[in-house]
Structure formats: structure tokens, C-alpha cells
Amino acid sequence: MSVLLLDTSAVSILFQPDHVLHQRSFEIVAGHQWFISFLTRGELLPWPEVNRWGSARREELNRHIDLCTTLFADEATCVIWASIVAQSRIAGGRSQQPMRGSPRRPVEWDLPLVTADHRDFEHLDALTLIPLTP
């Protein structure tokens, strides 16, 4: 069993069983512990509001999110954030906000990051990526 950090793309794909990447994604992450960053949680929570879901579906999303442990920020997170932003700037061509998806926490805890947006993170040295691809 491994401890995995899922980004927003991974959690949303795992929520919808008919998504083209769902089955393959679940095969990858099943049997492991799931973690998310507080930013991923913050990105997921407005999803029902934006789409005006009913209460039953909102509750399903909450149950889905609750399968994950949420990692919150502290001073060490801020220091790692700064280092990663600098690394991304040096790499060039990357977003100035490359870490919104989550990577500072996987680096801090040495967690592999599961994501369908792996190209956003592949320039980061101290990171293990598990891409979700067909």
C-alpha cells in the first residue's frame, strides 16, 4: 500500500464512473491511501454550487472527498512553495502559478502525485508523478 496525493483532475475523474479515464485511474489508485491538498479541496467544493446540483449529488461528492485526507499548509509548506515557484520560473514557459494543483505538499511529505495534468509538473525535480492517461 502506498500513500498517494491526488490533484483536482484525479479526484474529479474518480468521481464520475463513466469518464473515459475513470476505470484506468481507479485501477491505479485502488488499495492505496488518498491525500489531497487543501487547495484541491477548495477547488472541488464549488463544483456543486457552480452546476446547481441537488442535495443528493452534493452529498455524494462530499463522501467522495472524505475518502481523502486533506493536507493543510504551514510554514514549511510556504518555504517549499517558494522553492517550487522559483524552479518553475527558471524552467521557463510554465505558469507563474504552477503549484495550484498541489505539488508543494507531495514534495514536503514525499508523496507521489496522481494527476491527469502531469505535463504541468514534469519539470519539478523532487517529485514523483503518476500520470492518468488512457
74 binds other proteins (CB under 8 A): no
Of 9-28, which residues contact other proteins (CB under 8 A)? 9, 12-20, 22, 26, 28
Decide if 98 contacts 120 (C-beta within 8 A).
yes
**Chain center to CA of 75:** 20
Binding mask 96-115 for other proteins (x = CB under 8 A): -x--xx-------x--x-x-
Place of cell 517549499: 80
Residues 38-67, interacting with other proteins (CB under 8 A):
43, 47, 50-51, 57, 60-61, 63-64, 66-67
In Å, how far are 11, 84, 115 from 132, measured between CA atoms?
11, 22, 6
Angstrom distance (rounded) from CA 17 to CA 72: 28
- Contacts to other proteins by CB under 8 A: 1-4, 8-9, 12-20, 22, 26, 28-35, 43, 47, 50-51, 57, 60-61, 63-64, 66-69, 95, 97, 100-101, 109, 112, 114, 116-125, 127-131, 133-134
